[in-house]
Amino acid sequence: MTSSSDRSPVVDVQAPRTYEVRTYGCQMNVHDSERLSGLLEDAGYVRAPEGADGDADVVVFNTCAVRENADNRLYGNLGRLAPRKASRPGMQIAVGGCLAQKDRDTIVKKAPWVDVVFGTHNIGKLPVLLERARVQEEAQVEIAESLEAFPSTLPTRRESAYAAWVSISVGCNNTCTFCIVPALRGKEKDRRTGDILAEIEALVAEGVSEITLLGQNVNAYGSDIGDREAFSKLLRACGTIEGLERVRFTSPHPRDFTDDVIAAMAETPNVMPQLHMPMQSGSDTVLKAMRRSYRQERYLGIIEKVRAAIPHAAITTDIIVGFPGETEEDFEQTMHAVREARFTQAFTFQYSKRPGTPAATMENQVPKEVVQARYERLVALQEEISWDENKKQVGRTLDLMVAEGEGRKDGATHRLSGRAPDNRLVHFTKPDQDVRPGDVVTVEITYAAPHHLLAEGPVLGVRRTRAGDAWEKRNAAEAAKPAGVLLGLPRIGVPEPLPAATGGCAAH
């Protein structure tokens, strides 16, 4: 008989706690979610499998407050998780982002099963707030009124091995009457140029070959130090980083779009011939009511200058239809501006009230049926222009960066997908040799649709890249990860800041 002293000790072993992050809103929120994932993994959590749909130990909602029905969407999703949480001991739900910053205590009053509410300024506190909620067995609501630390110091789990977001500023100094973002993200705060470039160089060393500079008003960069040319200088500095093949940025504001930025775009080879610049309306009257600091002539003048300097530039925009007080004549001015600008693509939105914004209480709200009819006319016009502009690409030879997950039908059509330098989506014939996301292929465009291009002939060339190597290495590492176990609870707390190493609502 074996004595008790001979038995192996029983160890309290538990599998790692899993997490899921659900993201709503702009590119800033997408990048913030990469940081939330990095924070949780640094604290010992493991990402739940794809399609977990709430079947995780921790579910985080990173919310947006831009649309009128944002709160309805959030509470609907929280309601669907309530019975699952009740039947799963230890499950936690956290709500962060712009809606959390705005609604604060309201969230736990309407959904008392929520464990943590945190704001846009203190995302780094999420792990410690989850632990505190678990220990104290009560909801933790912590909303910072100002930025505690630039988010770039936080761990990040990037969604892509070959492309990365890099924040150059947070917050916004504009006062657009339809937008609540400045109230939720605060005044603009710029990062040091040296920190930005150091982060980009570190990303390139990891295999990243494309970066997108992010800011709520990205080309206002430098306002902190009074240097109006700081953004163009930053673009040119990106051009000196060896191994960085593609540089993009979003979203600029026409007010701050100066000639030196256009020159930097045209003269810096790795800055891509692409510009997303929100117009919002073509009517001077509506632009004034929106408190946008430019008028149609100024906007179209910028487009003309960009096209003169960069003939193949693809220009996209945002447009709001049905802003309070918009007349038929105002709307026709928008249609005129769209015809003149000939955007590659326009992201069109029907105006919806943003609670807490001046526009929400303006008189002469446009009837829903009128907004819908105008919206449909604008979409039809833009579809026609997009198709015509894409047809001009037929016969061109383009270098594509192979993308991951951008062609829903690629499997059935035996194609792959990639992005042209101007960011157009291209589906191309799968070559005989192995091609990985991040690699570059050369193709000839054979067909154009309004929202994509086709290259139906054989691929003309394949260039295997360090970015493709990085994608391959990451996939191999993910596949090799053991299920693993942890002793006791995962390590919780605010991580030590990383060396300075990355926001913008597209509707600005």
Annotated binding site for [4Fe-4S] cluster: 26, 64, 98, 172, 176, 179
Half-sphere exposure of 80 (CA within 13 A, CB side): 9
Contact 250, 284 (CB under 8 A): no
- Neighbour-count burial of 225, counting CB atoms closer than 10 A to its CB (0-12 exposed, 13-18 middle, 19+ buried): exposed
- Neighbour-count burial of 447, counting CB atoms closer than 10 A to its CB (0-12 exposed, 13-18 middle, 19+ buried): middle
- Alpha-carbon span 91 to 59, nearest angstrom: 8
Cis bond leading into 251, ω under 30°? yes
**Residues within the annotated binding site?**
26, 64, 98, 172, 176, 179
- Alpha-carbon span 22 to 27, nearest angstrom: 13
Mapping DSSP to helix (H, G, I), strand (E, B) and coil, where does residue 148 land?
Answer: coil
Nearest to 264 by CA among 329, 322, 218, 203: 218
What's the one-letter identity of residue 304?
Answer: E
Q: In sequence order, what DSSP letters do the residues of 102-131 get, joined into one string?
A: HHTHHHHHH-TT--EEE-SS-GGGHHHHHH
Helix count (H) and strand count (E) of the chain? 15, 23
Contact 349, 371 (CB under 8 A): no
Half-sphere exposure of 74 (CA within 13 A, CB side): 31
The angle at the Cα of 59, spanning 27 to 131, to the nearest 5 degrees, equals 110
